[in-house]
Chain A
């Protein structure tokens, strides 16, 4: 799995960090998401998919 994060779209909701803390974090200053693991380990894949589904800014895509 490859996770792609579009920081230009990100609104800093932090929803991805809630559903997938192994894969995402937020910058301190503006809350924009950062990718911790572009290719998440198997046990973090479902969390990454969930993050892509719920992101209110459509900033995350997951290629299987």
Chain B
């Protein structure tokens, strides 16, 4: 029976784990450590409603104060963890304090990647936290042109907000189209068309060799083909790495994140969840997901398992992205290494749904402005329907 649980990370996964621990009957001491000063808040709206100015930060608090108080936890916010001693069972804080535990939840999220140059210039932004977002939002108000380095989720969403705010927007990526890694070439091509039709200057298949500046302020981006893009605002959105630097000497296995087994356990008495966790999915092998939905699902299972359950974590993952008036949703696995087949609607009509497969079975389902279809097709993913059967014409009748 655990008497003292420490949760490192006070965002979606950390908060969910803390709530699940209480719900499952844990009555001992509960400490939640977070590097940001803010109470737990929701990140997906940062690059959408918050950046656009449609919402103010009070709309993204994850729980009202009263519910946070119900957790009866000690909160240590604005307090980064700096080390872990899994033998002595202590978390070491950046200020040198040590916090003992007999159960530990690691939920420290991910850290945005930086370019090897240019971040000292004013007007160069990253976007991960609320403070990052408010700084970029301020920049959008006075800027005329924005360059976005990276055409993944974040870059593409911010490009949409930038155009809606009336800025000249250039989006740069070394791959041939936006979000190819996540969606594959066919859908990437449709996203390229979408952004170009909304006026984005899309520069794909080219790298970034320098950020140029004038008087300490960014003035543009130099590309690997020798061309130069003028910009008075730059967002670097080239992905994120799991926030494991504080665990470097802990002895925990760190690969692409904290390596866990199928029960989200990293070591005896230690579980991990959310963006920081790499775990062994019982059906599809080692995975790490930076998706909002996964933070909740994984933290719930990790907390139960920390209390002694033995539940393998085997989700059908879900993520979405909003760009302009397009909502893209994906269940399961999608990507450029998989087959892609449209089963409903038509891209030329701006609404369609498709399946992804590995040659044998359906691995994922996606929908472009057909949200209900995404959910209905999810059953194909959950049931691992044979690919040939799923893409046969009859399966386009997904009901509803």
Contact = CB atoms under 8 A, between A and B. Distances in A.
A30 B371 contact: yes
A13 B318 contact: yes
A42 B48 CA distance: 37
A30 B368 CA distance: 11
Contacts of A18: 375, 378
Interface string A45-64: 00000000110111000000
Contacts of B232: none
B4 interface: no
Interface in B320-367: 320, 322, 327, 329
Contact of A11 (B19, B297, B327): B327
Contacts of A53: 16, 19, 296, 300
A56 B318 contact: yes
B393 interface: no
Most buried by B among A26, A32, A57, A58: A58
A35 to B, nearest CB: 16
Given A26-B375, A56-B44, A56-B292, A13 B297 contact: no
Contacts of A56: 44, 292-293, 296, 318, 320
A26 B371 contact: yes
Chain A binding surface SS class: loop
Nearest to A12: B371
Contacts of A31: 327, 370-372, 374-375
B400 interface: yes
B296 A54 contact: yes
B327 A12 contact: yes
Contact of B293 (A15, A17, A26): A15
A55 B329 CA distance: 14
Contacts of A14: 371-372, 374-375, 378
A11 B330 CA distance: 13
A13 B372 contact: no
A28 interface: yes
Contacts of B374: 14, 31
Contacts of B44: 56-57
A26 B371 CA distance: 9
Interface in B280-317: 292-293, 296-297, 300
B243 interface: no
Interface string B365-385: 000001110110010000000
Nearest to B42: A58
B296 A17 contact: no
B116 to A, nearest CB: 34
B255 to A, nearest CB: 26
Nearest to A25: B372
B320 A11 contact: yes
B134 interface: no
Contacts of B110: none
A15 B318 contact: yes
Contacts of A27: 372
A12 B371 CA distance: 6
A32 B290 CA distance: 24
A28 B370 CA distance: 8
A36 B62 CA distance: 25
A63 to B, nearest CB: 12
B320 A13 contact: yes
A11 B326 CA distance: 12
Contacts of B42: 58
* Across the A-B interface, the 9 shortest Cβ-Cβ residue pairs: A31-B371, A14-B375, A12-B371, A56-B293, A56-B292, A26-B372, A31-B372, A54-B296, A11-B320
Interface of A: 11-15, 17-18, 26-28, 30-32, 53-54, 56-58
Given A11-B327, A12-B371, A53-B300, 14 more contacts: A12-B320, A13-B329, A14-B372, A14-B374, A14-B375, A14-B378, A15-B293, A18-B378, A26-B372, A27-B372, A28-B372, A30-B371, A31-B375, A56-B318
5 contacts: A11-B320, A13-B375, A54-B296, A54-B297, A56-B44
